[in-house]
Amino acid sequence: MRGVLRDERILLIGALVLCAVPFIFGNYWTGLLTQALIFAGVAMGLDILVGFTGLPSLGHAAFFGLAGYGTAIGIQRYDLNPWLGALLGIVVSIAVAVLFAPLAVRMRGLAFLTIMLAFGQVWWGIATRGGSFTGGENGLPGIPRPSLGVSWWDLRSTNGYFYFTLLCTALVSLLLVRIARSSFGASLLGIRENETRMTTLGYYVAARRAAAFAIAAGAGAVFGVLSAFFNGYVGPGTLDWRLSAQFLLSVVIGGAGSLWGPFVAGGGLHILKTYITGQTQYWPMILGGLYVLAVVALPGGIASIPGILRNRRNRSAGPTAGPPATVTTE
């Protein structure tokens, strides 16, 4: 419980610090940090599947993109209210995850990675070849943002949407922390470390894997909707395997199993990618080199930095002198 309270305090402090962003930066940086929060949240949710359950996925963008497409189609094709469209997008994405999970979680390691890559590319193909229903390669532009019904919080403004995204990110992060610190989260770690022992202890491993799969997909769906509203557009790129690779690398670089590490890495990598793409057309090569360098230099990810610094401080302090030994005689 102390660990949960500590994580929640850190989460609250981080959210309060980020509240100052619109007062310090202009609209460009506020918008960029809004997108960074979205990508950070997806990486944090994916960590439940990768870091806690031990199932690396190369198809997680499918749930991110499906939620965006579900929202856009609900609004544009069926004249739904933006809030109902968002709900439809999230429900569709989670429903697909629940239906696919029993098959996917039977796989392990490279087999799971491969089947998730194929799963994501199937949805990318459907979106690309969907004609006017999905917009084809052009996607679906013109997605309107919802309204909160109050004049002082306009989601159509950059600052207003930043605060809305920050609120959603804080709530999802709080839920993920609670899950990770619960007995369910502990059982996922046990399954990752020794599946046979957990089965012997009476845990239904497949069901817990499927639940973790659905939780990660649900987090991706929420942020997929936020992304669709922010950009006013959803396209096949939101389902592409390269976006899935970015999410997975965010978890690896951040430190699988830490939650906060993937969160920091997910947001930071998006900002870095945005900067590099604006400077050179060779950005994939540069980003690839940075990914390799980060993994080699920090095998434990960003989350391992506090431990490394603590160990160095302890070594530099040297051994502490204990009390003088006493000799007893009889």
Written as one string, the DSSP assignment of 183-249 is HHHHHHHHHHH-HHHHHHTT--HHHHHHHHHHHHHHHHHHHHHHHHHHHTEE-GGGG-HHHHHHHHH
Q: Answer left, alpha or beta for residue 261, where phi above 0 means left and psi between -120 and 50 means alpha.
A: alpha
- Alpha helices for the chain (secondary structure H): 2-18, 21-24, 27-47, 61-78, 82-104, 109-128, 131-134, 158-180, 183-193, 195-200, 205-231, 241-254, 260-277, 283-297, 305-317
Sign of CA dihedral 177, 178, 182, 187: negative
Listed in sequence order, the residues at least 6 apart from 193 whose beta carbon sits closer than 8 Å to its beta carbon are none
Interval 39-75: pLDDT, tens: 999 999 999 999 999 999 999 999 999 999 999 999 9
Q: What distance in Å separates the CA atoms of residue 76 and residue 65, rounded to the nearest whole number?
A: 16
Residues 108 and 53: beta-carbon distance below 8 Å: no
Question: 76 is written with which tokens?
Answer: 């544009």
The pLDDT score that the predictor gives to residue 329 is 46
| Domains of the chain, CATH where assigned | 2-305 (1.10.3470)
Sign of CA dihedral 204, 44, 214, 120: negative
- What string of H, E and C letters represents the secondary structure of 127-154? HHCCHHHHCHHHCEECCCCCCCCCCCCC
Dihedrals phi, psi of 140, to nearest 5 degrees: -125, 100
Q: C-alpha dihedral over 17, 19, 20, 21, to 10 degrees?
A: 100
The pLDDT score that the predictor gives to residue 292 is 83
The pLDDT score that the predictor gives to residue 72 is 96
The pLDDT score that the predictor gives to residue 15 is 82
Residues 53 and 109: beta-carbon distance below 8 Å: no
The pLDDT score that the predictor gives to residue 5 is 55
Residues 270 and 230: beta-carbon distance below 8 Å: no
Residue with the two structure tokens 């990318």: 124
Residues 265 and 251: beta-carbon distance below 8 Å: yes
Average pLDDT per block of 10 residues along the chain, 330 residues long? 60 84 90 95 95 93 97 95 96 96 90 94 94 92 93 93 95 92 92 90 92 96 97 95 92 89 91 85 78 81 83 72 50
